Amino acid sequence: ATYKVQVSTGKGLLTGTFDSISITLVGTYGESPKQLLNRIGTDFSQGSVSSNLSASELGEILLIRLHKEPYSFFPESSWFCNYVQVTSPQGDLYRFPCYLWLEGYATTSLREGRGKRGQEGPPPPAAEGSQSVSWPVAWDSVAAGPEFSDGRVCLGTDGWMDSLLPHPVFLSLSLRMFETKMKGFLNRPYSWEKLEDIRKVFWFYHTPVSEYVAQHWKEDAFFGYQYLNGVNPVWIRKCTKIPFNFPVTQDMVAGSLGEFTSLQEELMKGTIFLADYKILEDIPAIEINGYPQYITAQLCLLHQKPSGELIPLAIQLSQTPGYESPIFLPSDSEWIWTLAKTWVRNAEFHVHEVTSHLLRGHQLAEVFAVATLRHLPMCHPLYKLLIPHLRYSVHINVLARTFLVSQGGVFDKAIATGRGGLAVLLKKGLENLTYTTLCLPDDIQARGVDSVLNYYYRDDGLKLWEAVHSFVSGIVGFYYKTNLAVQRDYELQAWVCDIYTKGFLGRRSSGIPSTLRTLEDLIKFVTMVIFTCSAHHAAVNSGQFELGAFMPNSPSSMRKPPPHTKAPVTLEEFLDTIPEMNTTSLVLSILWVLRNEDFDMRPLGSYPDEHFVEDEPKWLITAFQERLAEITKEIEERNKTLTLGYTYLYPPGIENSTAI
């Protein structure tokens, strides 16, 4: 009988191979002979190649083996195989999705692509599952102590880049460009002389938003706005009782609240909010440019006016009230109030980059990726569902460990925590991280921010959560009919258990499940995974550049201790407290290099790699895309009515995965 074999190679650069590739088909009646697929010197790069294969009747085809072997004098070359498709003599179509690099000389088995769980179907080929991937030393140690992995995550060379022109090339080119533009600022360990200079030095990147920031950064309303729709819109909580260690009184806030209401009344109305940076207590700071830097654990009280403006009422620059730690108020003199707010912006820098961005965006994505590669075979429906949302995550983290959080890296050069304080902060962040925080609808309830006005992050985020949830429900419902099916899927259970024990260090109080009992449990958990890697990461990542380019809005380090009195300060003293020119430039260079360029981006809900072969999941993907398009329209309409549109959860700008 004659079988038709079609092989598709990735479209990226250098995805073809000059090695010899042959195939064996394995069916219920037996195996075909091994057959060569590429003639010498053809590299597969043209996309799709067809061959005919003669064999006796094989029955239903269960799996294929791809043999990658040396071809005379050609050096070994990696191959990015999209998929193989086999048509039987009777016209039955079998598809074998791959979408992986095949490296070295080896035989790779691929199971037929209809989603199969655990016991179903033939036993998993040896190459799949836990043997090939191990937990990087990194995660445990990043969470528990100061030692980071050297980046050698056991994923072969890929980290799943699907082109051989990897991130680093673009990143270093980009950095080179930045350096020329900055013309020497990276070498100047001096204070900025004028605020205007900070704006001007960045002449090659002015957007409407970065200009807006430079003009409005000192305004209370913009300071408050960023808690709702800035880069870290996950921190404020409703305050119903003034904390004992932050003794704000009616007298202090009377001026801000006006004569028609009182602090007590507003507390009861639910319009008072608290940003508490207790997590920064006792985080060690480093020296920068030879001088000690400072970190404090601020408290900031805010009020939402009926107009929707959220304004700061009071700021205390430590967790311990008293003579040494006055409560700063908007009625204080101009630069001391600005300095107090800038200290809070600095706290925001630390908690945003470390807990919201690095921990929740990047490290969790890596945990999900490693657990998925270890436990879910490629034909598992959850592998198919999740793998597009884990693309490049390990790769970008290896880069972050190499350049950003490495010894002598950016954290050690320009951020007050340095690498040591970062590890302490990450550990605390992980200790505080709960399932509630990770599930947006629960998080909104827990923080008491469901009726806050003008909270576009919440509005867009909840719509996206619902859209993802409904998509995941469809996929899960198609492959799992009963709770028992969920309980009995030992691959799935091993996956979730590994996330619990390795990712969350087996901490019961996190509320993270260690097993999944029902369909609803499974749907929620998978929704959380996809939402974290896509929407959450986008919300905390996309605005960094435009909101951080004007440094006083987002200082990475403070060079003087927090003020102990309300004595007026001058602009010059203010400039001597925020980062120097070289520190500013270094942070900006990273923001510049990592700013979201469209390069190779896959927006939320786009699945160009066809892992699913059945019709139903394909329809569900289409429905998901349609819902995202509706959300996109709604956001466009809403943004037309705003001075500053909220775009960080605009679906076309959200990546499927934590890829940058």
Binding site for ligand RS7 (CB under 6 A): 353, 357-358, 362, 396, 400, 404, 410, 415, 541, 544, 587, 590-591, 594
Q: How far is CA 434 from CA 227, 439, 492, 499, 509, in A?
A: 20, 9, 21, 13, 8
CB of 394 to ligand RS7, least distance (A): 12
Which of helix, strand or coil describes residue 441? helix
Torsion 519-520-521-523 (CA) sign = positive
Q: How far is CA 646 from CA 17, 223, 305, 349, 538, in A?
A: 45, 15, 20, 20, 12
Which residues have C-beta within 8 Å of that of residue 616, sequence separation ≥ 6?
474, 478
Cβ closer to ligand RS7: 170 or 478?
170
Cβ closer to ligand RS7: 128 or 412?
412
| Rama region for 59: left / alpha / beta (φ>0; ψ in -120 to 50; rest) | left
Look up residue 582 and give its two tokens.
């070289």
CB of 240 to ligand RS7, least distance (A): 33
Cβ closer to ligand RS7: 411 or 612?
411
Contact 209, 546 (CB under 8 A): yes
Cβ closer to ligand RS7: 9 or 541?
541
Cβ closer to ligand RS7: 274 or 359?
359
CB of 137 to ligand RS7, least distance (A): 19
CB of 540 to ligand RS7, least distance (A): 9
What is the C-alpha to C-alpha distance for residues 108 and 96, in angstroms, rounded to an integer? Answer: 12
Contact 94, 85 (CB under 8 A): yes
CA nearest neighbour of 588 among 623, 621, 642, 551: 551
- Chain length of the chain: 660
CB of 100 to ligand RS7, least distance (A): 23
Cβ closer to ligand RS7: 491 or 546?
546
CB of 280 to ligand RS7, least distance (A): 16
CB of 543 to ligand RS7, least distance (A): 10
Cβ closer to ligand RS7: 81 or 588?
588
Cβ closer to ligand RS7: 85 or 541?
541
Q: Which residue is nearest to ligand RS7 (CB)?
A: 594
Look up residue 361 and give its two tokens.
């965006």
CB of 396 to ligand RS7, least distance (A): 5
Cβ closer to ligand RS7: 231 or 272?
231
CA nearest neighbour of 438 among 369, 493, 506, 364: 364
**DSSP 8-state symbol, 221:** H
CB of 224 to ligand RS7, least distance (A): 24
Q: DSSP letters along 52-76, please? A: EEE-S---SEEEEEEEEE--TTPPP
